[in-house]
């Protein structure tokens, strides 16, 4: 509380702002009304308005995530010591396929196929159930319309 009171007293005792000199104000006014010695013609004014946009993006995944935009044949998926071992024991003519395996990710393809097959089987079961309900409803309505019909 005491420092705030002291600061208030110090600010209250500060010197009042001095009035501006009329000679300085007149000098500033004449400088503003004079035409500039050098004028730069902007080519963008003749073409139209200029709009500027700044785009700041952020990565979709955290930077420390294991995924990378680097292809798998450049960045091996196994540990570095395994890579060094394979580099030492693999003959030169077979190193490309061994050290930098390139191919179809079979596990992901298999998972996708299983997912699609499950979805197709579910749709087929739902369609069969709907058809069975539709036929039973038709039979019920036919029996209600004509109770003397055989099977009712």
Q: What is the DSSP string of the chain?
A: -HHHHHHHHHHHTSPPPPPPPHHHHHHHHHHHHSPPS-----HHHHH------------SS-TTSS--SS-TTTS-SS-HHHHHHHHHHS-GGGHHHHHS--S--HHHHHHHHHHHHHHHHHHHHHHHHHHHHHHHHHHHHHHHH-TTSTT-
Q: How far apart are CA 93 and CA 95, in angstroms?
A: 6
Query: What pLDDT, on a 0 to 100 scale, did the predictor assign at position 77?
Result: 59
Q: Are 99 and 83 in contact (CB under 8 A)?
A: yes
pLDDT at 120 over 80: yes
Whole-number pLDDT of residue 23? 86
What pLDDT, on a 0 to 100 scale, did the predictor assign at position 127? 95
Name residue, tokens 């680097």: 70
What confidence tier does 107 reach under pLDDT thresholds 50, 70, 90?
Answer: confident
For 111, phi then psi, to 5°, come to -65, -40
Q: What is the pLDDT of residues 21-68, one digit of tens each?
A: 888 888 888 887 877 766 666 665 556 677 787 777 766 666 566 666
Long-range Cβ pairs for the range 18-25 (8 Å, 24+): none
List all residues 6 or more positions away from 139 whose beta carbon is below 8 Å from its beta carbon. Answer: 151
How far is 73 from 105, CA to CA, in rounded Å? 13
| Domain ranges across the chain | 67-103, 104-152
């Amino acid at each position: 509380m005491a420092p705030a009171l002291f600061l208030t007293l110090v600010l209250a005792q500060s010197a009042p702002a001095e009035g501006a000199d009329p000679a300085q104000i007149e000098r500033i006014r004449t400088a503003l009304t004079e035409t500039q010695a050098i004028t730069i013609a902007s080519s963008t004014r003749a073409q139209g308005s200029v709009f500027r946009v700044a785009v700041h993006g952020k990565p979709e995944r955290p930077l420390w995530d294991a995924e990378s935009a680097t292809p798998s044949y450049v960045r091996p998926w196994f540990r570095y010591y395994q890579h060094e071992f394979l580099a030492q024991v693999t003959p030169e003519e077979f190193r490309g396929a061994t050290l930098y395996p390139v191919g179809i990710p079979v596990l992901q393809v298999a998972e996708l196929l299983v997912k699609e097959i499950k979805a197709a089987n579910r749709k087929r079961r739902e369609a069969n159930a709907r058809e069975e309900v539709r036929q039973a409803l038709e039979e019920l309505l036919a029996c209600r319309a004509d109770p003397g019909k055989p099977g009712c």
